[in-house]
């Protein structure tokens, strides 16, 4: 019995030891697989340089339609939002009072003209008699003075009649410019005075966009611009992604900077032929500077930040990753000009890859310049 127990213990030990040997043989060496990354080879190249600003639209021409006489306002002759043409009648003011005044002034003029005709005839009749000494000269002088007085009176009568004629014309309130008219500000039947605001007309086929870059930005734009009047693209952003773009050009740069803010007033004029953009709208503006300056640049998405500043991931000749600290110059939404840290021929990692680190083994695939892909959208 004792011998059987010893034999069983020996067999069990052999089985356990052989199991341990099998486990040791099954331990495998895990080999690191290179990470796949996209890269772009840097070179000095010319890019379309656009500077981004925010601005606000303004009507090229905007006038307030006002009454120039006092009276009861008649019915408007337009629908709010209509396009109206210059000299089109928009409102009528009760003319009866002004017509009566005109009739009165005209009658006075006709009366004085008749008196003048008689005075002229008297002078003509007396002049030969005085010359022949058949009538006293004093009488001729008196008749001549009466003629001159009546001539002056008629000039005054005509001026008074002209004034009333203007008031009568002003009873028809006309558009002073062509454009889009808003709603009536005074309802029919109300009494309006001189200067009462009745409606607003704006010209919106073209719009101004006002924006305020810094004095330094304006200096750079003036220095490097390749067009006398740089072109602009004005973008109206939509939450639904239905952005609208309007083309135009710079038409004004102020000659002084704001002492409080250090900014300079600039203005672009854009085409708005479909009347989709309204005055007073906040928009984004892209100003073209040049496409003639060769630079080394990367897309903003290729740049990362650490405690030392900005850096990019670069693929070495050994197919490993290295971090390169850089210094940048001009920046916009599409590109970042590199002033220090990178040179032509280096391969910069494109896109975001998790887990990149110094010395990591990778395989690189050359892709198109992401700056060009962005600027050609």
pLDDT in tens, 104-163: 999 999 999 999 999 899 888 878 877 777 778 888 888 889 989 999 999 999 999 999
Indicate if 83 and 207 belong to the same structural domain.
yes
User: Measured between alpha carbons, how far is 44 from 306 in angstroms, rounded to an integer?
Assistant: 26
pLDDT score at 7: 43
Please count the structural domains in the chain.
Answer: 3
Indicate if 337 and 351 belong to the same structural domain.
yes
CATH code: domain of residue 267: 2.40.30.170
Residue 304 backbone phi and psi in degrees, to 5: -125, 170
Whether residue 29 is predicted with pLDDT greater than 70 in this model: the reply is no
pLDDT score at 132: 77
> What is the extent of the structural domain holding 367?
36-48+295-375
Residue 30: DSSP 8-state: P
Percent share of the chain, pLDDT over 90: 67
Indicate if 230 and 151 belong to the same structural domain.
no
| Domain presence at residue 17 | no
Largest CA distance in the chain: 191
Whether residue 18 is predicted with pLDDT greater than 60 in this model: the reply is no
pLDDT score at 205: 92
Per-residue pLDDT tens over the stretch 227-252: 999 999 999 988 877 889 999 999 99
The answer to whether the Cα torsion of 128, 132, 138, 139 is positive or negative is negative
| Domain presence at residue 67 | yes
Q: Which residue has the tokens 């090229």?
A: 60
Where does the pLDDT of residue 377 fall: very low under 50, low under 70, confident under 90, or very high at 90 and above? low
Q: Other CB atoms closer than 10 Å to residue 160's CB: what's the count?
A: 17
pLDDT score at 232: 96
Question: Pick from 143, 170, 197: which residue ends a domain?
Answer: 170
Determine contact, residues 301/351, Cβ cutoff 8 Å: yes
Question: Pick from 140, 170, 200: which residue ends a domain?
Answer: 170
Tokens of 340: 């220090």
Q: Tell me what the pLDDT averaged over the chain comes to.
A: 88
| Domain presence at residue 127 | yes
Determine contact, residues 253/218, Cβ cutoff 8 Å: yes
| Domain presence at residue 83 | yes
Indicate if 187 and 277 belong to the same structural domain.
yes
Q: Which residue has the tokens 């303004």?
A: 58
Per-residue pLDDT tens over the stretch 68-80: 999 999 999 999 9
Q: Tell me which residue of 144, 198, 152, 146 sits closest to 172, measured CA to CA.
A: 198
Comparing 162-166, 193-197, 234-238, 264-268, the range with the smallest average pLDDT is 234-238
User: Which positions ≥6 away from 14 have C-beta within 8 Å?
Assistant: none
pLDDT score at 15: 45
């Amino acid at each position: 019995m004792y011998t059987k127990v010893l034999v069983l213990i020996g067999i069990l030990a052999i089985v356990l030891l052989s199991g341990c040997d099998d486990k040791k043989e099954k331990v495998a060496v895990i080999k690191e697989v290179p990470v796949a990354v996209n890269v772009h080879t840097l070179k000095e190249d010319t890019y379309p340089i656009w500077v981004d600003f925010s601005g606000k639209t303004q009507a090229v021409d905007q006038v307030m339609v006002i009454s120039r006489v006092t009276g009861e306002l008649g019915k408007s002759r337009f629908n709010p939002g209509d396009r109206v043409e210059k000299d089109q009648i928009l409102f009528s003011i009760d003319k009866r009072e002004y017509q009566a005044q005109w009739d009165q002034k005209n009658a006075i003029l006709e009366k004085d003209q008749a008196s003048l005709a008689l005075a002229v005839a008297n002078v003509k009749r007396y002049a030969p008699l005085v010359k022949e000494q058949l009538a006293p000269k004093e009488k001729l002088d008196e008749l001549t003075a009466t003629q001159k007085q009546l001539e002056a009176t008629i000039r005054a009568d005509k001026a008074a009649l002209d004034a009333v004629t203007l008031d009568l014309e002003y009873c028809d309130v006309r558009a002073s410019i062509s454009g889009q008219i808003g709603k009536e500000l005074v309802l029919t039947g109300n009494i309006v005075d001189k200067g009462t605001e009745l409606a607003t007309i704006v010209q919106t086929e073209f719009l101004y966009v006002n924006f305020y870059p810094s004095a330094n930005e304006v200096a750079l734009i003036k220095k490097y611009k390749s067009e006398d009047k740089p072109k602009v693209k004005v973008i109206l952003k939509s939450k639904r992604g239905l952005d609208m773009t309007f083309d135009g050009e710079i038409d004004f740069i102020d000659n002084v900077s704001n002492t409080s803010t250090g900014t300079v007033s600039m203005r672009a004029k854009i085409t708005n032929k479909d009347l989709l953009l309204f005055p007073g709208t906040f928009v984004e503006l892209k100003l073209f500077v040049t496409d003639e300056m060769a630079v080394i640049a990367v897309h903003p998405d290729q740049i990362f930040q650490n405690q030392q500043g900005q850096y990019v991931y670069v693929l070495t000749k050994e197919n490993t990753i290295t971090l390169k600290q850089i210094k940048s110059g001009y920046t916009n939404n599409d590109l970042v000009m590199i002033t220090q840290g990178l040179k032509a021929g280096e391969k910069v990692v494109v896109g975001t890859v998790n887990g990149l680190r110094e010395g990591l083994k990778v395989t690189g695939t050359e892709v198109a310049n992401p700056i060009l892909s962005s600027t050609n959208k």
